[in-house]
């Protein structure tokens, strides 16, 4: 088995050597990543040294940690000391941070082996990993399709069997949406549950780091490792870290599960689901959510009802404004965060006749079209005369979203929705920006509220491609969320294997 838990258990007992495990995964990367392009860099020699040190610790009778010898891929916007962190942008090409992100430190301290840095939409701005300066990542289920984004490289690496675990960042769905499209598990924790120190910022009030895994138990293990208060991050929550793995054994009997009316497309909109009528609610249904995806959500709700949960409909009205509010706030924050890339302090520098021309030429050469567009839109939203009309109003909608979710969680323990409005789409199919932005319709609300949410594979949709069901919970409600996710995983129909790799994730 190549599940992270099995690898770590075998390495700790000496049944397998960390160096042998690593070579298996490096061999798979060498054979197939030329087709997928999950990685911007494979850190083979550094990984070999780490794996050798873990084997030496085992030989000496020491416990290397809960992730002993597990290869882990890190999204290329997480700082890694002495290893290039590019954010898939020419602006930072070759830049080597002088420190590790906190999550890199905690994973390494737990015995993980960094196997490489994964591709992403430039500065995490995208939903398909088509907007990388170093070329797109392809979906292991179908190389003609996108893996989702912006953490598409991390999702593809796990789905293709290049690493048992990966970390990504989620600003508007950038962990959950690619997890859904690649048929794996992805978690966005509560905002502040995991330190953001060392994550290159896109939109600081939304950004959160979380794990990808082939199953819920591995994801819970990784979440436990990276969670915890960090004095280096002022938004880090000073709360104890629960035993997330123990939560997987909890029964869902008696739990109240709400299916979000606004996010369930054209499915059973006028009927209660799961045989229950608790909290039946009608809401304005958002356009663009495919019927095959919606049907999987209702089947997941039925499975939870069969397991003893009480299932009903719930309306979260502010969800209908989430996309607009998010893109105003996130782009405003991006315009501020990316102002630091001016050719002066680090990264790319294009010489000019004076400082102003140097700044202009550097940003023109260093940023791709999508990033430039978002910076300009965000700057406009913050400009004099427009701030209150756009940014200020969007912040008020964000507060309404928070209140609507609080009201929903007064009646329900968890909420269900699609993760992505569609299965993996073909390259170039969503060239129109608004069509692309709608990929995040279902995931953005939890970023606006700051609550935890995760994607769990639950069957297939069009052309036998994976569908993910999103489980949402109130702030710091990861334990209940994981218990429900584990129940869904047990009830889920088996997924076909990715066509690309023998022995890949199932």
**How many structural domains is the chain composed of?**
1
Range of the domain at 150: 4-221
Q: Are 248 and 483 in contact (CB under 8 A)?
A: yes
Backbone angles phi, psi at 199, to 5 degrees: -90, 125
User: Is 439 part of a structural domain of the chain?
Assistant: no
Q: Is residue 235 part of a domain?
A: no
Distance CA 315, CA 323 (A): 17
Render the burial of 159-174: b for 16+ CB within 10 Å, e for the rest: bbbbbbbbbbbbbbbb
- H/E stretch holding 170 reads strand 165-170
Contact 301, 415 (CB under 8 A): no
> Is residue 213, in this structure, part of any structural domain at all?
yes
- By annotation, the residues acting in catalysis are 75, 150, 174
Q: Tell me, what's the pLDDT at 405?
A: 98
Task: Please give the pLDDT value at position 2.
Answer: 81
DSSP annotation of 353 reads S
Going residue by residue through the chain (506 aa), what tens digit of pLDDT does each one get?
589 999 999 999 999 999 999 999 999 999 999 999 999 999 999 999 999 999 999 999 999 999 999 999 999 999 999 999 999 999 999 999 999 999 999 999 999 999 999 999 999 999 999 999 999 999 999 999 999 999 999 999 999 999 999 999 999 999 999 999 999 999 999 999 999 999 999 999 999 999 999 999 999 999 999 999 999 999 999 999 999 999 999 999 999 999 999 999 545 544 444 444 434 456 678 889 999 999 999 999 999 999 999 999 999 999 999 999 999 999 999 999 999 999 998 899 999 999 999 999 999 999 999 999 999 999 999 999 899 999 999 999 999 999 999 999 999 999 999 999 999 999 999 988 889 999 999 999 999 999 999 999 999 999 999 999 999 999 999 999 999 999 999 999 999 999 865 444 43
For residue 268, the model assigns a pLDDT of: 56
Q: Per the domain annotation, does 120 fall within a domain?
A: yes
Domain annotation covers residue 86: yes
Numbers of helices and strands, H then E, in the chain: 16, 11
Residue 482 within a domain: no
Lookup: tokens for 364? 């023109």
| pLDDT score at 1 | 58
The pair phi, psi for residue 215, each rounded to 5°, is -145, 170
The neighbour count for residue 245, using CB atoms within 10 Å, is 18
Of 491, 401, 476, the C-alpha closest to 189 is 476
Say which CATH number the domain at 185 has: 3.90.1300.10
479 Cβ neighbours under 8 A, 6+ residues apart: 242, 244, 247, 250
Question: pTM, whole model, 2 decimals?
Answer: 0.95
């Amino acid at each position: 088995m190549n599940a992270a838990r099995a690898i770590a258990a075998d390495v700790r007992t000496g049944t397998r050597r960390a160096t042998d495990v690593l070579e298996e995964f490096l061999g798979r990367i060498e054979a197939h990543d030329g087709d997928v392009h999950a990685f911007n860099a494979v850190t083979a020699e550094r990984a070999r040294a780490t794996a050798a040190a873990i084997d030496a610790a085992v030989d000496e009778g020491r416990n290397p940690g809960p992730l002993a010898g597990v290869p882990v891929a890190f999204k290329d916007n997480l700082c890694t000391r002495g290893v290039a962190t590019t954010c898939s942008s020419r602006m930072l090409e070759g830049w080597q941070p002088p420190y590790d992100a906190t999550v890199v430190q905690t994973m390494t301290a737990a015995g993980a082996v960094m196997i490489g840095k994964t591709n992403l939409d430039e500065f995490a701005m995208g939903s398909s990993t088509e907007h990388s300066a170093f070329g797109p990542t392809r979906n292991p289920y179908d190389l003609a399709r996108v893996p989702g984004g912006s953490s598409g490289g991390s999702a593809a690496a796990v789905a293709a069997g290049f690493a048992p675990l990966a970390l990504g960042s989620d600003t508007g769905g950038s962990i959950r949406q690619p997890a859904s499209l690649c048929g794996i598990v992805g978690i966005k924790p509560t905002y502040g549950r995991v330190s953001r120190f060392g994550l290159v910022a896109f939109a600081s009030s939304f950004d959160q780091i979380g794990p990808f895994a082939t199953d819920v138990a591995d994801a819970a293990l990784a979440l436990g490792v990276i969670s915890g208060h960090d004095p280096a991050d002022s938004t880090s929550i000073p709360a104890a870290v629960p035993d997330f793995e123990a939560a997987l054994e909890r029964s869902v009997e008696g739990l109240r599960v709400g299916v979000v009316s606004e996010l369930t497309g054209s499915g059973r909109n006028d009927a209660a689901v799961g045989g229950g009528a608790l909290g039946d609610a009608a809401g304005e249904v958002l356009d663009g959510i495919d019927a095959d995806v919606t049907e999987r959500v209702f089947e997941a709700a039925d499975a939870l009802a069969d397991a003893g949960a009480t299932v009903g409909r719930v309306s979260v009205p502010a969800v209908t404004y989430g996309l607009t509010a998010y893109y105003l706030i996130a782009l405003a924050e991006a315009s501020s965060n990316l102002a630091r890339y001016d050719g002066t302090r680090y990264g790319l520098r294009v010489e000019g006749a004076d400082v102003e021309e140097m700044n202009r030429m550097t940003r023109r050469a260093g940023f791709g079209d999508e990033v430039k567009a978002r910076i300009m839109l965000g700057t406009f939203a913050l400009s004099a005369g427009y701030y209150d009309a756009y940014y200020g109003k969007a912040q008020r909608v964000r507060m309404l979203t928070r209140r609507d979710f609080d009201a929903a969680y007064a009646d329900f323990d968890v909420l269900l929705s699609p993760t992505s409005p569609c299965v993996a789409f073909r390259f170039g199919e969503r060239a129109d920006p608004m069509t692309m932005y709608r990929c995040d319709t279902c995931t953005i609300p939890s970023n606006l509220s700051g609550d935890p949410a995760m994607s769990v594979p639950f069957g297939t949709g069009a052309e036998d491609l994976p569908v993910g069901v999103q489980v949402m919970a109130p702030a710091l409600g990861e334990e209940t969320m994981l218990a429900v996710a584990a129940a869904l995983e047990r009830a889920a129909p088996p997924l076909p294997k990715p066509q690309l790799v023998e022995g890949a994730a199932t």
